[in-house]
Protein backbone atom coordinates (compact mmCIF):
# COMPACT_ATOMS: atom_id res chain seq x y z
CA UNK A 1 0.00 0.00 0.00
CA UNK A 2 2.92 2.37 0.56
CA UNK A 3 3.82 2.08 -3.11
CA UNK A 4 0.20 2.86 -4.03
CA UNK A 5 0.23 5.98 -1.83
CA UNK A 6 3.54 6.93 -3.44
CA UNK A 7 1.86 7.22 -6.84
CA UNK A 8 -0.59 9.76 -5.51
CA UNK A 9 2.21 11.82 -3.99
CA UNK A 10 4.45 11.76 -7.05
CA UNK A 11 1.96 12.14 -9.89
CA UNK A 12 -1.72 12.39 -9.07
CA UNK A 13 -3.31 14.51 -6.34
CA UNK A 14 -6.86 13.39 -7.26
CA UNK A 15 -5.74 9.77 -6.81
CA UNK A 16 -4.20 10.66 -3.43
CA UNK A 17 -7.53 12.23 -2.45
CA UNK A 18 -9.32 9.08 -3.63
CA UNK A 19 -7.13 7.02 -1.32
CA UNK A 20 -7.86 9.38 1.59
CA UNK A 21 -11.60 9.09 0.93
CA UNK A 22 -11.47 5.29 0.60
CA UNK A 23 -9.31 4.24 3.56
CA UNK A 24 -12.10 2.09 4.95
CA UNK A 25 -12.51 0.25 1.65
CA UNK A 26 -8.76 -0.21 1.28
CA UNK A 27 -8.44 -1.60 4.79
CA UNK A 28 -11.46 -3.86 4.27
CA UNK A 29 -9.93 -5.04 0.97
CA UNK A 30 -13.03 -3.98 -0.92
CA UNK A 31 -12.66 -5.41 -4.43
CA UNK A 32 -13.80 -2.29 -6.30
CA UNK A 33 -11.60 0.07 -4.29
CA UNK A 34 -8.56 -2.19 -4.53
CA UNK A 35 -9.09 -2.78 -8.24
CA UNK A 36 -9.16 0.97 -8.89
CA UNK A 37 -6.12 1.61 -6.68
CA UNK A 38 -4.06 -1.13 -8.31
CA UNK A 39 -5.14 -0.26 -11.86
CA UNK A 40 -4.36 3.44 -11.39
CA UNK A 41 -0.97 2.65 -9.84
CA UNK A 42 -0.11 0.37 -12.77
CA UNK A 43 -1.19 3.05 -15.26
CA UNK A 44 1.07 5.62 -13.63
CA UNK A 45 4.07 3.30 -13.46
CA UNK A 46 3.56 2.29 -17.09
CA UNK A 47 3.36 5.95 -18.11
CA UNK A 48 6.60 6.84 -16.33
CA UNK A 49 8.48 3.81 -17.66
CA UNK A 50 7.18 4.43 -21.19
CA UNK A 51 8.27 8.08 -21.06
CA UNK A 52 11.75 7.17 -19.76
CA UNK A 53 12.22 3.57 -20.82
CA UNK A 54 16.02 3.74 -20.87
CA UNK A 55 16.36 6.11 -17.89
CA UNK A 56 17.71 8.93 -20.03
CA UNK A 57 15.43 11.84 -19.08
CA UNK A 58 15.44 11.46 -15.31
CA UNK A 59 11.67 11.09 -15.12
CA UNK A 60 11.88 7.47 -14.04
CA UNK A 61 13.75 8.52 -10.89
CA UNK A 62 10.49 9.84 -9.42
CA UNK A 63 9.48 6.22 -8.83
CA UNK A 64 12.11 6.23 -6.09
CA UNK A 65 10.30 8.70 -3.85
CA UNK A 66 11.06 7.66 -0.26
CA UNK A 67 13.46 4.96 -1.41
CA UNK A 68 16.75 6.69 -0.58
CA UNK A 69 15.80 6.60 3.10
CA UNK A 70 14.01 3.24 2.75
CA UNK A 71 16.92 1.35 1.21
CA UNK A 72 19.25 2.56 3.98
CA UNK A 73 16.74 1.53 6.65
CA UNK A 74 16.21 -1.91 5.10
CA UNK A 75 19.95 -2.57 4.94
CA UNK A 76 20.69 -1.29 8.43
CA UNK A 77 17.87 -3.21 10.10
CA UNK A 78 18.92 -6.47 8.47
CA UNK A 79 16.33 -6.84 5.70
CA UNK A 80 13.77 -8.34 8.00
CA UNK A 81 12.66 -5.92 10.66
CA UNK A 82 10.96 -3.79 8.01
CA UNK A 83 9.15 -5.04 4.94
CA UNK A 84 9.98 -3.05 1.80
CA UNK A 85 6.64 -1.24 1.84
CA UNK A 86 7.06 -0.36 5.51
CA UNK A 87 10.51 1.07 4.83
CA UNK A 88 9.11 3.05 1.87
CA UNK A 89 6.32 4.41 4.08
CA UNK A 90 8.82 5.69 6.65
CA UNK A 91 11.11 6.88 3.85
CA UNK A 92 8.36 8.95 2.24
CA UNK A 93 7.65 10.68 5.54
CA UNK A 94 11.32 11.43 6.06
CA UNK A 95 11.74 12.65 2.47
CA UNK A 96 8.75 14.93 2.96
CA UNK A 97 10.24 16.25 6.23
CA UNK A 98 13.46 16.96 4.31
CA UNK A 99 11.44 18.87 1.71
CA UNK A 100 10.00 20.94 4.58
CA UNK A 101 13.52 21.72 5.86
CA UNK A 102 14.53 22.83 2.39
CA UNK A 103 11.52 25.15 2.20
CA UNK A 104 9.99 23.21 -0.69
CA UNK A 105 6.65 22.32 0.96
CA UNK A 106 4.32 23.29 3.74
CA UNK A 107 4.19 20.83 6.69
CA UNK A 108 0.54 20.16 5.77
CA UNK A 109 1.80 18.13 2.77
CA UNK A 110 3.71 15.84 5.11
CA UNK A 111 0.82 15.63 7.54
CA UNK A 112 -1.55 14.46 4.79
CA UNK A 113 0.89 11.67 3.98
CA UNK A 114 1.34 10.73 7.65
CA UNK A 115 -2.41 10.65 8.19
CA UNK A 116 -3.07 8.46 5.14
CA UNK A 117 -0.19 6.06 5.76
CA UNK A 118 -1.17 5.71 9.43
CA UNK A 119 -4.81 5.11 8.51
CA UNK A 120 -3.60 2.29 6.23
CA UNK A 121 -1.72 0.77 9.19
CA UNK A 122 1.68 1.58 7.74
CA UNK A 123 4.54 2.83 9.92
CA UNK A 124 5.48 6.49 9.72
CA UNK A 125 8.55 6.13 11.92
CA UNK A 126 11.17 3.46 12.50
CA UNK A 127 10.13 0.92 15.15
CA UNK A 128 13.45 1.25 17.04
CA UNK A 129 15.17 4.40 15.78
CA UNK A 130 17.67 4.37 18.65
CA UNK A 131 19.17 1.19 17.14
CA UNK A 132 20.11 2.98 13.93
CA UNK A 133 23.02 5.41 13.79
CA UNK A 134 22.66 8.61 11.78
CA UNK A 135 26.17 8.25 10.38
CA UNK A 136 25.40 4.71 9.21
CA UNK A 137 22.31 5.93 7.37
CA UNK A 138 24.27 8.75 5.73
CA UNK A 139 27.03 6.31 4.69
CA UNK A 140 24.47 3.92 3.27
CA UNK A 141 22.83 6.76 1.33
CA UNK A 142 26.18 7.41 -0.35
CA UNK A 143 25.74 4.00 -2.01
CA UNK A 144 22.34 4.95 -3.44
CA UNK A 145 22.09 4.98 -7.23
CA UNK A 146 20.84 8.57 -7.14
CA UNK A 147 24.02 9.77 -5.39
CA UNK A 148 26.47 11.25 -7.87
CA UNK A 149 30.02 12.20 -6.98
CA UNK A 150 29.25 11.94 -3.28
CA UNK A 151 26.42 14.47 -3.54
CA UNK A 152 23.12 13.28 -2.12
CA UNK A 153 20.10 13.57 -4.40
CA UNK A 154 16.55 13.00 -3.31
CA UNK A 155 13.13 12.81 -4.89
CA UNK A 156 11.17 15.42 -2.92
CA UNK A 157 7.59 16.67 -3.12
CA UNK A 158 6.69 20.22 -4.02
CA UNK A 159 3.00 19.41 -3.43
CA UNK A 160 0.79 16.34 -3.43
CA UNK A 161 0.90 15.12 -7.02
CA UNK A 162 4.34 16.45 -7.92
CA UNK A 163 7.93 15.64 -6.97
CA UNK A 164 11.29 16.75 -8.26
CA UNK A 165 14.84 15.44 -8.15
CA UNK A 166 16.82 17.68 -5.83
CA UNK A 167 20.60 17.66 -6.16
CA UNK A 168 23.30 18.68 -3.69
CA UNK A 169 21.10 18.31 -0.63
CA UNK A 170 23.11 19.48 2.39
CA UNK A 171 24.06 16.54 4.60
CA UNK A 172 23.37 18.70 7.66
CA UNK A 173 19.69 18.93 6.78
CA UNK A 174 19.42 15.18 6.18
CA UNK A 175 21.13 14.69 9.55
CA UNK A 176 18.53 16.95 11.21
CA UNK A 177 15.66 14.89 9.76
CA UNK A 178 17.25 11.69 11.03
CA UNK A 179 17.98 13.08 14.49
CA UNK A 180 14.46 14.48 14.79
CA UNK A 181 13.20 10.99 13.90
CA UNK A 182 15.04 9.62 16.95
CA UNK A 183 18.07 8.05 15.29
CA UNK A 184 21.25 8.17 17.37
- Domain residue spans of the chain: 2-180
Say which CATH architecture domain 2-180 belongs to.
Up-down Bundle (1.20)
For the residues of 83-119, what is the DSSP string, one character each?
-HHHHHHHHHHHHHHHHHHTTSS-HHHHHHHHHHHHH
Convert the pLDDT of each residue in 166-183 to its tens digit: 998 999 999 999 999 999
Instruction: Read off the pTM.
Output: 0.94
pLDDT tens digits, 68-101:
999 999 999 887 788 999 999 999 999 999 999 9
Amino acid sequence: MAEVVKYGVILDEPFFSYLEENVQGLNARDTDVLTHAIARSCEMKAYVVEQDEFETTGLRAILNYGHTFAHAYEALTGYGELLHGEAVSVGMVHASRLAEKLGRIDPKVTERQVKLLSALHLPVSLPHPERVAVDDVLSRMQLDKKTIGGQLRFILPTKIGHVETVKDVPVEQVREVLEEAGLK
